[in-house]
Amino acid sequence: MIKDTSSPIGSILSRAGVEPNEVAELVEAETPEDMYHAVVSSSFDADRLDYVERDRYMTGVGAGAIDCEWLMDNVRVAEIDVSPAGDNGSDAAYRHSFCLLYKAREAAEDFLLARYRLYTNVYLHKTTRGFEQLIAALFRLIAESVDRDEPLDGLEGDHPLMKFFSKNGETIENYKALDDVVVWGAIHRFAVAGRGATQEIAQRLLARRRPHCLDVQISFPQEPELQRRLKRRLGEEFKEQLNDRVFRDVAKLSLYGEIGGDDSRAQKRLMIQLPDGKLKEITDFSDRSIAQSSNERQFERYYFLNESDYTRAQAMVAAIRGQ
């Protein structure tokens, strides 16, 4: 979309004296080439600094305050030699990156903890994930209908969603047509004129009726063996209904790992500059800082459209607990 000569994004960049292709390459880059890549994608990048404050405010979450002004006051550029991941002794991939002064270390830890709390309280909340499962299921039904070349009650063949899921339909033009109004309009049509699962899911979305949720970890908080037993029984019992009327959702979360250090390259990591000028990764301090927590928290939930299925699942929990 940035490279497209007819795109307003490219035009805006060009008028500002910026080459659109250079911006696109920066966004696309998998291997860091300079410190500007870290501004776009790292453990302490512009996007994270933006959404941690904005999403906390917009969702009303009390936990997770950060001192953004103090963090920015303590950002410095440091000269480092970083070789491509796994290439010992090879030429440096880049020589400079930014870091935080040591006195901002606690603020940096607060930043990591704030992101963690947003994930647990908002992004991975069972209600949020439940509605995401419904949206994904609805899109699967549309894609399967298009793949079978079958009409879908509620949508015409030239609807943007039908066009996007058609063969070779994943084009930029078709993608740009899928804004909120188009998708919500399709959900309204399904709710009124759809049939079966598409109508039920659409009506749930419009009425904000979340699916019934069984959380494996909450069912047995400190009993991993019972969790494994429950997961095994749920998998066996609802094998035929998965992705139909039963949805399994699995996610992992750590304070500094899955959502923090994206990979082993220092450009992606959160570096602290010591008073002598040396750099240290935030998890490498010996005084057991909060950022040293690398243990993953597991989330596994089952969502049910039918209350009868949910009741059967609850009975499994009760049976395992009583054994």
pLDDT in tens, 151-177: 888 888 889 999 999 999 999 889 999
pLDDT in tens, 219-273: 999 899 999 999 999 999 999 999 999 999 999 988 875 444 445 566 677 889 9
Which residue is it, tokens 């602290």? 272
The band of 280, judged by pLDDT with boundaries at 50, 70 and 90, is confident
Structure tokens at 175: 């993608």
Record the pTM: 0.84
Is the per-residue pLDDT at 323 higher than 60? Answer: yes
Q: Which of 249, 273, 255 is nearest to 99 (CA)?
A: 273
Sign of CA dihedral 264, 265, 268, 271: positive
Rg (alpha carbons) of the chain, rounded to whole number: 24
Helix (H) or strand (E) holding 301: strand 297-304
Name residues whose C-beta falls within 8 Å of residue 195's C-beta, 6 or more positions apart in sequence. 153
The span from the CA of 147 to the CA of 141, in Å, is 10
* 83, pLDDT greater than 90: no
CB atoms within 10 A of CB 204: 19
DSSP 198-225: HHHHHHHHHHT-PPEEEEHHHHSTT-HH
| pLDDT number for residue 91 | 46
Question: d(Cα 184, Cα 187) in Å, to the nearest integer?
Answer: 5
Residue 89: is its pLDDT beyond 80? no
Q: Which two tokens stand for residue 42?
A: 């790292």
For CA atoms 46, 48, 97, 23, the dihedral sign is negative
Lowest mean pLDDT across 4-18, 58-72, 123-137, 245-259: 245-259
Q: Is 222 exposed, middle or buried (0-12, 13-18, 19+ CB in 10 A)?
A: exposed
Query: Which runs of consecutive H residues, i.e. helices, occur in the chain?
Result: 8-15, 20-28, 35-40, 46-59, 68-73, 105-118, 126-147, 160-165, 172-176, 180-193, 196-207, 216-219, 224-237, 307-322
The span from the CA of 313 to the CA of 213, in Å, is 10
Kindly report, residue by residue over 181-194, the tens digit of the pLDDT: 999 999 999 999 98
pLDDT beyond 80 at 88: no
At 182, list the tokens: 């188009």
% of the chain residues with pLDDT over 90: 58
Of the listed ranges 3-12, 245-254, 302-311, the one predicted with least confidence = 3-12
